[in-house]
Structure 1
Amino acid sequence: MSEQNDLAELSFTVSGHVSRPPAEVYEAVADPDQLSKYFTTGGARGRLEPGADVTWDFDDFPGRFPVTVVEATPPDRLVIEWDAKAAAAGRSVTTTTFEFAPVDDGARTLVTISEAAWEVSADGSRNAFDNCMGWTGMFAALKAWLEHGINLREGFYR
């Protein structure tokens, strides 16, 4: 007899290293001015901290996206939620967690970005894969910006 494991929701994790200390990497994500320089090409409004009115806009995907900050623990962790078209049953948002772990005595940072709460369906899979690509791109853009001052998103999507 085979054991059946039911998958309740889809999630993913991407990670890699940035050659900067955790506090610097955390700030590059939490600070709207910095985030606007390499990721939210249409501008970020509001610092990623609980209670802040935060929106993200992307020139290549126009429209302001409201972002709810669930947790902000500098320089270790940020947790946000935002609307999802194909969220898991009983949910209308997905949860994205950024973790910043010191490596090499704090000279480098292991960045881990996880997103969860996509429904197990064709639409949920498509949206989860799209967002996985988006967060991978964000992570690469973060690394290029902090280590080399290069904006990878400029002209990338159009």
Structure 2
Amino acid sequence: MDLKFSVAARIAKPVEEVYEAVVNPDQLSGYFTTGGAKGRIEKGATVMWSYHDFPGEFPVQVIEAIPNEKIVLDWEATDEAGIEVDKPGAGYNIRMTMEFKPLEDGRTLVTINERGWHSDQDGLQSSYGNCEGWTQMLCSLKAWMEHGINLREGFYQ
């Protein structure tokens, strides 16, 4: 079984503004990375993300970043408790692809696909957690971009 998922949302802002809200660490820290983001998302970079609900910084490798079109990120797999997997066969990466599509009405369609989880119970549980996280990211991005509201503020503290 190939564990993967896809989530999407329409953001009522132009694609250039939406893309910038994701790649700019100051903006990303304002609505998603509750513990902060360090480094701009650019091809070849390793950026650091931190969350109040997932303590400690962790590295995110930027595989591809095509302005206003696509971002591809890799990071180390974790188990459902948010701990790096340390069992046999661990040490693998998860790949997330985020695509940005301008719509005729001026909105932007953002689609997130993630894959790479091992086909076991830990992989299944962890993929569910990440699906939840990316869905929350899109909801938070929408609220931030359209209304200036940080949905995650105080959510985990």
TM-score, with length taken from structure 2: 0.89
Aligned to 2:41: 48
Find out whether 1:130 has 2:129 as its counterpart: yes
Q: Take 1:90 and 1:155, find their aligned partners in 2: how far apart are those partners?
A: 33
| Aligned ranges 1:2-151 → 2 under 5 Å | 7=1, 9-85=2-78, 92-105=92-105, 107-151=106-150
Q: Report the CA distance between 1:91 and its aligned residue.
A: 6.3
Q: Which has the larger radius of gyration?
A: 1
Confirm or deny: 8 A CA contact 2:95 2:114 kept in the other structure: yes
Whether the 8 Å CA contact 1:55–1:66 is kept in 2: the answer is: yes
CA distance in 2, matches of 1:26, 1:58: 21
Match for 2:51: what amino acid? F
Identity %: 53
**How does the TM-score come out when normalised to structure 1?**
0.89
Number of equivalences: 149
Measure, in 2, the Cα distance between the counterparts of 1:78 and 1:91. 22
Unaligned runs of 5+ in 2: 80-84
Gap runs ≥5 in structure 1: 1-6
Q: Deviations over 1:7-57 (max 9, x none)?
A: 2x2000000100001111111000101000000111100001123231001
Cα distance 1:90–1:43, how it changes in 2: closer, same or farther (>3 A)? closer
